[in-house]
């Protein structure tokens, strides 16, 4: 079992979904990101998604796009991010998933990237713009050879063939996009989300994590009732953006408190089930 498998097994044993926060690496700089990783883990993150900034982030909404601009302006590169993970992964004790576009991976070379990701302590990779038909040719085998989980996206528009293919080649977990469109906070969850998640879980052997548009404790609680994992990204990226003038330590405390607030409903729900 991988470290990601272990997390989902532990959370399932506790009767709750895993909480998975996302931040953009290098926003506002990599030294701050290192501090923020500690804050996410201390606040209750079970797995951390770390975004790799890319100049054309087609899957990201305005909040994450601005974070990408700040990270690139700070000189953040994939090699720097891998070095950061290598320095902090073991101490954190929390699996790290890289959320990336394919271009930085391709530029480095898929085999070279897989080897470096594994040696740095990366536990999983989600290449957001790589369809499973392409990924299973080279990316998935290379990552698998080095013990790194390959995570793929499904969406409300995914066909049966796409669901079957993702179910066959994914490892760690499958990421379900809760609605069509780009990342970003929403005031309400999609009306058919519960039905869709229940339907998909019957077709998957892997855990199913849900993201895109989840931003409040109430939404986390609702998704956590039907999914194996809950991903919150833009709400945390926005918190960083709105407090860039604060000291690094102060901002880390804000992030820790917010992650604790967002993840708390999952733990309370588990306690009620055990009572």
List residues with catalytic annotation: 49, 60
**Within its chain, how far is the Cα of 37 from the centroid?**
13
Quote the CA–CA distance of 200 and 195 in Å, as a whole number: 9
Distances (CA, A) of 6 to 19, 33, 162: 14, 25, 26
How would you classify the pairing of strands 18-24 and 208-211? unpaired
The alpha-helical segments, DSSP class H, found in the chain are: 3-14, 30-43, 62-73, 78-92, 102-108, 110-120, 132-135, 139-145, 160-169, 193-201, 217-224, 234-242, 248-274
**Within its chain, how far is the Cα of 251 from the centroid?**
20
The encoded tokens of residue 208 equal: 């199913």
Coil, helix or strand at residue 55? coil
């Amino acid at each position: 079992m991988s470290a990601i498998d272990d997390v989902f097994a532990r959370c399932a044993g506790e009767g709750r979904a895993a909480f998975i926060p996302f931040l953009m690496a290098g926003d506002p700089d990599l030294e701050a990101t290192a501090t923020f990783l500690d804050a996410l883990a201390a606040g209750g993150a079970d797995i951390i998604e770390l975004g790799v900034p890319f100049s054309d982030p087609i899957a990201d909404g305005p909040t994450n796009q601005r974070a990408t601009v700040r990270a690139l302006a700070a000189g953040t590169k994939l090699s720097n991010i891998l070095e950061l993970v290598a320095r902090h992964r073991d101490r954190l004790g929390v699996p790290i998933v890289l959320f990336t576009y394919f271009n930085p991976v391709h530029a480095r070379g898929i085999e070279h990237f897989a080897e470096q990701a594994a040696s740095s302590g990366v536990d999983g990779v989600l290449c957001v713009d790589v369809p499973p038909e392409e990924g299973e040719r080279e990316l998935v085998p290379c990552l698998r050879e080095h013990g790194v989980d390959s995570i793929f996206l499904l969406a409300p528009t995914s066909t049966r063939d796409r669901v079957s293919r993702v179910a066959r080649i994914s490892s760690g977990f499958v990421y379900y996009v809760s609605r069509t469109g780009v990342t970003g906070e929403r005031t309400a969850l999609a009306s058919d989300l519960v039905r869709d998640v229940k339907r998909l879980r019957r077709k998957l052997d892997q855990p199913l994590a849900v993201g895109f548009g989840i931003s409040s404790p109430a939404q986390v609680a609702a998704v956590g009732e039907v999914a194996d994992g809950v991903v919150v990204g833009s709400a945390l990226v926005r918190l960083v953006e709105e407090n860039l003038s604060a000291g690094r330590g102060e901002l880390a405390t804000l992030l820790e408190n917010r992650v604790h607030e967002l993840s708390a409903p999952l733990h309370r729900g588990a306690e009620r089930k055990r009572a």
